[in-house]
C-alpha cells in the first residue's frame, strides 16, 4: 500500500560514499533516516519506514536505538557537524595568503556542496529543524550556534578589509547569506545549475568593491 512512498529513491546513495552494504546496521539506519527526513519531514518519517529502508522490520529498530527521537536527534546533530567540518576543512585547504573574498566564496561553496550534494544529514537538518520536538531541537542548539559563530567570524573579516559598507549591520549580512544558503535546497536540482557559479555570484553579490 505504502510501498510507492517508501521507495523514495531507487535504493541509491544511502551509504554516502563508502562500502556497498556492510557499514553496520546503526549507520545504515541513520543514513536511511537522514534520507527520509530530508524528503518527507519529521512526522512522515516513521520508524517502520526507516526499518523497511534498511531491510528489517519495524520493531527491530529498537535493538539499535532507544527511540525515534534518538535517531532523529543524531541525524540532525550530525547534519550540522558535517557542514561545519566541510566549511572548516575547505577554508583550511586554502593557501595562507588567501583574501577574505576567496575565503567567503570557498565557505559558500563548501556549505552548498555539503547540503545539496554530499549529505542527506545536512539537508535533513536544515529542512526539518523548525518542526522538530523541542527536546530534539534543544539537543543541537550548541552545534548550530558554533556554526553560526563560524560565519560571524567570516563576515567580520569582510568588514575588517572594508569589503562591505560599514553602514550595513554585520548581522544582516550573515542572516542574508545563511538564509540564502539554507534555502538553496528548495530550488536546487542536481545538474541544472553549477554550484561553483552560484557560489561565485553569491559572494560577489555581497562584496561591494572588487
CB 33 within 8 A of CB 45: yes
The yes or no reply on residue 1 touching a second copy (CB under 8 A) is no
Q: Which residues contact 177 (CB under 8 A, 6 or more apart)?
A: 108, 151, 155, 202, 206
**Smallest separation, CB 169 to a second copy (Å):** 5
Q: Which of 17, 195, 168 is nearest to 105 (CA)?
A: 195
**Smallest separation, CB 24 to DNA (Å):** 8
**Smallest separation, CB 92 to a second copy (Å):** 26
**Smallest separation, CB 80 to DNA (Å):** 22
- Number of chain positions touching DNA (CB under 7 A): 23
Q: Which of 62, 110, 58 is nearest to 83 (CA)?
A: 110
Per-residue contact flags (x/-) with a second copy for residues 191 to 210, judged by CB under 8 A: --x---xx--xx-xxx-x-x
Q: Provide the terminal-to-terminal Cα distance of the chain, rounded to the nearest Å.
A: 58
Cell matching residue 112: 552548498
User: How many whole angstroms from its chain centre is CA 61?
Assistant: 24
Q: Which of 146, 142, 172 is nearest to 159 (CA)?
A: 172
CB 122 within 8 A of CB 83: yes
The yes or no reply on residue 167 touching a second copy (CB under 8 A) is yes
Q: Which of 165, 29, 184 is nearest to 117 (CA)?
A: 184
| Residues in 21-50 that interact with DNA by CB under 7 A | 25, 45-49
Nearest residue (CB) to DNA, 101 versus 137:
137
Q: Which does 1 bind (CB under 5 to 8 A by kind): a second copy, DNA, none?
A: DNA
Of the residues 69, 85, 148, 157, which one makes contact with DNA according to CB under 7 A: 69
The yes or no reply on residue 150 touching a second copy (CB under 8 A) is no
Q: Which residues bind DNA (CB under 7 A)?
A: 1-2, 25, 45-49, 51, 55-64, 66-69
Give contact residues for a second copy (rule: CB under 8 A).
40-44, 127, 129-131, 164-165, 167-169, 171-173, 175-187, 193, 197-198, 201-202, 204-206, 208, 210
Amino acid at each position: 500500500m505504502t510501498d510507492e512512498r517508501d521507495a523514495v529513491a531507487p535504493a541509491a546513495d544511502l551509504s554516502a560514499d563508502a562500502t556497498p552494504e556492510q557499514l553496520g546496521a546503526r549507520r545504515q539506519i541513520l543514513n536511511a533516516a537522514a534520507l527520509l527526513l530530508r524528503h518527507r519531514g519529521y512526522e512522515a518519517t516513521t520508524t517502520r519506514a526507516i526499518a523497511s529502508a534498511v531491510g528489517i522490520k519495524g520493531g527491530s529498530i529498537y535493538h539499535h536505538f532507544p527511540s525515534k527521537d534518538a535517531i532523529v536527534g543524531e541525524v540532525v546533530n550530525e547534519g550540522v557537524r558535517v557542514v561545519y567540518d566541510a566549511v572548516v576543512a575547505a577554508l583550511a585547504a586554502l593557501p595562507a595568503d588567501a583574501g577574505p573574498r576567496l575565503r567567503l566564496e570557498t565557505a559558500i561553496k563548501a556549505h552548498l556542496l555539503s547540503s545539496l550534494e554530499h549529505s542527506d544529514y545536512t539537508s535533513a537538518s536544515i529542512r526539518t529543524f523548525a518542526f522538530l520536538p523541542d527536546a530534539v531541537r534543544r539537543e543541537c542548539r550548541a552545534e548550530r550556534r558554533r556554526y553560526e559563530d563560524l560565519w560571524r567570524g567570516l563576515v567580520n573579516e569582510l568588514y575588517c578589509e572594508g569589503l562591505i559598507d560599514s553602514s550595513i549591520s554585520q548581522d544582516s549580512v550573515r542572516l542574508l547569506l545563511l538564509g540564502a544558503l539554507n534555502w538553496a535546497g528548495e530550488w536546487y536540482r542536481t545538474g541544472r545549475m553549477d554550484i561553483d557559479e552560484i557560489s561565485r555570484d553569491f559572494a560577489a553579490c555581497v562584496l561591494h568593491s572588487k
